Amino acid sequence: MKINFIDVEPPMFSSFTVGQKPDFNIVKETKTITVEINSITKTRISTSFKIKECSMGINWEMDGYKQFEDNSFSFLDYERKKSHYFVKSKKQNFERYKEYVSEVLIKLLTGFNVELDELNVRLINHNAF
């Protein structure tokens, strides 16, 4: 799959619906998905995808990348949550981050049986890089 990154300015405000399920038919039709990048700390980067009113974190453990594992508790579903934040460094710069996002998105879309030749990724960088 060919992945094209499009840098997008952060919106003045955004919203999402809690518990909303992702509609991957929209991704199939538009061949576009939005990825939001946020700083958790100076070096830890959180990644989430957004489709319409659905927003979900995709801080998954991926081989070949330095990541920070964070264990937390979700009061929404009363479950423990494990996040693997991308660690920003000289070796893991913005270009390396894009490679990481590409691998995560391929894994995400494959898991939902979405097959595309090309995907446009709208990157919204909230001052993380």
Amino acid at position 79, single letter: E
By percentage, how much of the chain surpasses pLDDT 90? Answer: 77
Mean pLDDT across the stretch 13-31? 86
3-state secondary structure of 123: strand
The answer to whether 55 and 16 have CB atoms below 8 angstroms apart is: yes
**Domain count within the chain:** 1
What average pLDDT is seen over the chain? Answer: 92
* Per-residue model confidence (pLDDT) at position 18: 74
Indicate whether this model's pTM tops 0.75. yes
Q: Where are the beta strands (DSSP E) in 60-117?
A: 67-74, 79-87
Query: How does DSSP assign 9-36, residue by residue?
Result: PPPS-----TTPPP-HHHHHHH-EEEEE
pLDDT exceeds cutoff 90 at 119: yes
Strand 2-8 relative to strand 118-126: parallel, antiparallel, unpaired? parallel
Provide the 10 A C-beta neighbour count for residue 44. 19
Residue numbers of the domain that contains 105: 2-126
